[in-house]
Every structure is written in C-alpha cells, then in structure tokens.
Amino acid sequence: MGFGKSFVILGSGNVGWHLSLALKRKGYRPLQVYSPTAANARKLAARLNCGYTTNTARVVPDASWYLIAVSDNAIARVAAARPLRNKRLVHTAAGVPLDVLSEFTASCGVLYPLQTFSKSREISFSDIPLFIEGSDNQTTIALGKMAATLSLQVRSSTYRQRIALHVAAVFCCNFVNHFIARAKEVVKKEKISFNVFKPLLNETIYKALKYNPIDIQTGPARRGDSNTIKRHLSYLKDDPDSAKLYRFVSSSIFDYYSNK
C-alpha cells in the first residue's frame, strides 16, 4: 500500500467534511466520497472535485487511505464493506477501539481531532490537536506523517486516553455551551443583549487556561454565600430547569472545595 497520498472519505458529516478538505489543501488526492445520503455525498464530492457513491460495494479499491468518519455505531458496518478488505482503514472516533477495524485489515488506525466542527464554520486544522493510534509501526508512522501535514499538534494516544479526552471535551464544550445557552435565556427575559457577556466569557477561558482552574474558582458557591444563592434561586423560580441546574452545580462546587 505504501505511503501514497490518495484517499477515499467515508462519511460527509462535520468531521469528514473538514478533514477531507484539509487533506486536499495539503496535497492529498481525494478519489471518492461515500455517504448513505446522496445529497451530502454530492455536495462534498463537488467541493473535493471527485466522484461519490451511496453504496459501500461501489467504493473504489485503489486509494492509499480509507478514512471512516461516520457515526460511532456505523463504523463497523462501513469497515465490513468488501472493497475495504485489507485496505488501510482509519476511523476518527474517540469512543471506538481500533479492534473494530483490525478484524478487516492488518493496517488500520485512529485519527481523533479534538475540536468541535460545523460545516458552516471554516476552521484551520493547523491548531487542532490530533490523537493517533496505529495497528503497527509502519501504519503509525504513515498516519503520523499524514497527521503532521495537517496539524502542529500530533500525539499518540491509547483508547483509554481517547475516552478521557472525549469525557473532558463533553465537559469543556457540550456542557459549557449548555450553561451559556441557559445564561442567554435568563438575560433575554430581562431584555439584555447577550453580547455583554463576551468579555466575561473570554476572560473566564483565558484564566482557566493560564492558571489552574481549581485555584481561581470564584462565585457564591465557592464562597459559601448562601444569601446570594437563595436570591438567585428565588429569581429563577419561574424557570425550574435552570433553578435545578443552578442548585446542583452550586452544591457540586461547594462540596468539591469543602472536601479539599
């Protein structure tokens, strides 16, 4: 199989979209897009200037790399397709072990990008940490070489480390976004533009990254300021879901620092 620079992208979701476009920009040659949804496959193929298929049996057999960027549950099904037998397969999921691919080929790997993607938002791959794992030395080296053309932040990682990264990413991205969404709803009721929170959010992230977030925790729960907490819960009495979140996370913070 060698260290060729052609690839097929299987999956046209957020990760497949950005990963394949980034590879093309770096000189890798897209041969084909596979997606079960024709409209998505066609749109990405047009961007990559290559063919597409909605049928795994029609995947072209001569690519150097087969990049599987479908949902976790679909990876094994896609990898089982006849044209992919004994090809170099790579999936992009944090939560799927390499074994899922190794039953179909001797050369396989994982390339997990630690980032949140949306199709509408252009993003530079060069800053994105890429976590790789290979079935064998040769594949790991080839995969590392490909990853290094995309990003300055390439690291080896085990399956267990990827799970930890994914758990932490849920905390840092999905949960953080949920709290920002709730905050926006709170101030919207008072006819306050959410733009006023921009400096606070930026400063919060800046400080959490610069210092140890455990050392710089502030706020009523950290201080054990029960008057303020009561006042906030009373304000939230018409929004029981936000009140429940407020109470739960405040207790978590209070307990965390009480037990230290």
Query: Which of 37, 61, 201, 224 lies at the binding interface for its own copies (CB under 8 A)?
Result: 201
Q: Report, in Å, the least distance between residue 248 CB and its own copies.
A: 5
Read off the amino acid at residue 28: Y
HSE-CB for 237 with a 13 A CA cutoff: 4
Q: Is 173 in the site for its own copies (CB under 8 A)?
A: yes
CA dihedral 79, 81, 85, 89 (to 10 degrees): -30
Complex with its own copies: residue 61 or 95, whichever CB lies closer = 95
* Rounded CA separation 23/67 (Å): 11
Interactions with its own copies, residue window 205-224 (CB under 8 A): 205, 207-209, 212-214, 216-222
Q: Report, in Å, the least distance between residue 82 CB and its own copies.
A: 26
Phi, psi dihedrals of residue 135, rounded to the nearest 5°? -70, -25
Query: Which of 118, 141, 145, 224 lies at the binding interface for its own copies (CB under 8 A)?
Result: 118
- The interface region with its own copies, picked from 47-55, 82-90, 135-143, 157-165 by CB under 8 A, is 157-165
| Number of residues in contact with its own copies under rule CB under 8 A | 88
Q: Is 199 in the site for its own copies (CB under 8 A)?
A: yes
* Rounded CA separation 130/186 (Å): 36
Q: Is 74 in the site for its own copies (CB under 8 A)?
A: no
CA proximity to 121, closest of 18, 246, 202:
18
* Inter-axis angle of helices 226-235 and 240-258, nearest 10: 160
Q: Report, in Å, the least distance between residue 256 CB and its own copies.
A: 7
Q: Report, in Å, the least distance between residue 103 CB and its own copies.
A: 19
